[in-house]
Amino acid sequence: MGIAITLEQACAWLREQDDILILTHQNPDGDTLGSAFALYYALRALGKRVRVECSDEFPRKYRFMFPDYQPEAFEERFVVAADIADTQLFGKKLERYSGAVDLCIDHHPSNTFYAAQTYLVADAAATAEAICDVIDGLGVTLDLPMATCIYTGLSTDTGCFRFSNTTAKTLSTASRMVALGVDNAEINLQMFSHKTQSRIAIEREVYNTMEYHFGNRCAVIWMTRAMLEQAGADDAELEGVSAIPTQIEGVEVGVTLREKEGGYKVSLRTSRYINASEICARLGGGGHARAAGCFLAATLEEAKRQVLVLVKQAFDRYDAEQ
């Protein structure tokens, strides 16, 4: 198990390094990619050789952050993980680095400290918020490409600044990025408004699976591989689907189950008083108080049962305290 370090220590260590590999998590979102590429641009500005990798292909919707990126071939001498709380999120291609990460920069309270050293900002809305501080600490002047990446990370993990993890610092950081020229309106439009026909098709199927439990305070949806194949939807088009249940009036807990090889990936979203991370931790996962996940090697019905048992216990504890 590695150790926690301060911002100053993380920046001092990064200044000493070269030939740096930055890892992003599988099924990459705007925060892991925004964080990685903002740091990539900053380290490049210091004259260092840097490369960003992911087990999965970079989704097309995020390529505006790195339109001209061509990975440079070199043997890495220092490995950084951006927004990766656990080695289980590395994916097949990057799993060889599970025991070789020198520095992890993250904001997930459930971080397992697998890296030699970890700069963790658990109250940050997004890892991009911490990366902004790292760039400042490195003495690099923020430019538009870095700012675009940071803004995208912030916007992604706050649901366009709608979620309860949005803080005054989050908003001031976003404001700073906009002042640097970030086209926030266009980014928000692309990230949260535009949808492909296949995304609409899978949403239609998902709504048909909706189940309500515990006095309609919990809603469950699911996606099987057959449903995804029929809709023609890929991983990049599924971001935000797990937020659907908690958009329903009166629903406090939203459960989304997605069929993967060997079982179901569970995404848990809560709107107020139920801690999603605590529930998922009991199932081998983790995350944040309002958004967490885990993987269950089970059938659909068994996966639902396991999650719902814990959700009911959480509701019962809350009700008993009122």
Most confident of 26-30, 188-192, 282-286, 307-311: 307-311
Q: What pLDDT sits at residue 87?
A: 95
Backbone angle region of 24, left / alpha / beta, with phi > 0 → left and psi within -120 to 50 → alpha: beta
> What mean pLDDT is predicted for residues 278-305?
93
Range 50-88 burial, b when 16+ CB lie within 10 A, else e: bbbbbbbebbeebeebbeeeeeeeeebebbbbbbbbbbb
> Which of 7-11, 119-123, 197-201 has the weakest average pLDDT?
197-201
The topology under which CATH files domain 3-192 is inorganic pyrophosphatase (n-terminal core) (3.90.1640)
Q: What pLDDT sits at residue 306?
A: 98
Options 3.90.1150.10, 3.30.2350.10, 3.10.310.30, 2.40.50.100; CATH of 197-321 = 3.10.310.30
Q: What pLDDT sits at residue 229?
A: 93
Cα–Cα nearest to 105, from 136, 129, 89: 129
CATH 3.90.1640.10 placement within the chain: 3-192
CA atoms in the 13 A half-sphere facing the CB of 269: 23
CATH 3.10.310.30 placement within the chain: 197-321
Q: What pLDDT sits at residue 2?
A: 94
> What mean pLDDT is predicted for residues 186-209?
91
Residues sharing a CB contact under 8 Å with residue 53, sequence separation 6 or more, in sequence order = 21, 22, 23, 24, 71, 93, 94
Residue 234's pLDDT band (cuts 50, 70, 90): confident
Q: Is the pLDDT of residue 235 over 80?
A: no
Q: Is the pLDDT of residue 236 over 80?
A: no
Q: Is the pLDDT of residue 280 over 90?
A: yes
Q: What pLDDT sits at residue 274?
A: 94
Q: Is the pLDDT of residue 50 over 80?
A: yes
Burial (0-12, 13-18, 19+ Cβ within 10 Å), 223: buried
